[in-house]
Amino acid sequence: MTESLKGISGSMFAGKTETLLREISRAEISKKKVQVFKPIIDDRWGEKDKVRSHSGGEHQACAVKNAVDILECLDTDTQVVAIEEIQFFGPEIVSVVQALLEADIRVIFAGLSQDFRGEPFGSMPTLLALCDEIEKPTAICTEEVDGKICGADASKTQRLINGQPANFNDPIVLIGDEDEGYQARCPKHHKVPGKPIPKI
Ligand SMILES: [Zn+2]
Buried b (16+ CB within 10 A) or exposed e, 178-197: eeeebbbbbeebbbbeeeee
d(CA 7, CA 156): 17
Q: How far is CA 134 from CA 45, 48, 99, 109, in A?
A: 27, 27, 20, 10
Q: What is the largest CA-CA distance in the chain?
A: 57
Distance CA(154)–CA(14), nearest Å, equals: 8
Three-state DSSP class for 163? coil
What's the CA-to-centroid distance between 185 and ligand 1, angstroms?
5
- Of 189, 191, 166, 140, give the one whose Cα is nearest residue 11: 140
pLDDT value at residue 74:
95
Q: What is the pLDDT of residue 175?
A: 56
Q: How far is the CA of 152 from the centre of ligand 1 (A)?
A: 5
78: left (phi over 0), alpha (psi -120 to 50) or beta: beta
Does 48 count as an annotated binding residue?
no
**What per-residue confidence (pLDDT) applies to 48?**
58
**Distance of CA 196 from the midpoint of ligand 1 (Å):** 21
What pLDDT shows up at residue 25? 94
131 labelled binding-site residue: no
Rounded Cα distance between 171 and 63, Å, is: 23
189 is in an annotated binding site: yes
Nearest partner of 155 among 9, 11, 8, 7, judged by Cα = 11
pLDDT at position 180, please? 55
The number of residues making up the chain comes to: 200
Specify the 3-state DSSP secondary structure of 60: strand
Q: Catalytic amino acids?
A: 85
Report the pLDDT value the prediction gives residue 176, as an integer from 0 to 100.
Answer: 55
Question: Domains plus CATH for the chain?
Answer: 5-137 (3.40.50.300), 140-189 (3.30.60.20)
3-state class (DSSP) for residue 95: helix
Q: Is 194 annotated as contributing to ligand binding?
A: no
Residue 5 contacts residue 124 (beta carbons within 8 Å): no
Alpha carbons 35 and 59: distance in angstroms, whole number: 10
Q: What is the reported pLDDT for 156? A: 96
Measured in Å, residue 176 CA sits from the centre of ligand 1 at: 27
Q: Which residues of the chain have pLDDT under 70?
A: 1, 42-48, 173-180
42 neighbors 12 (Cβ within 8 angstroms): no
Distance in angstroms (rounded) separating the CA atoms of residues 111 and 94:
13
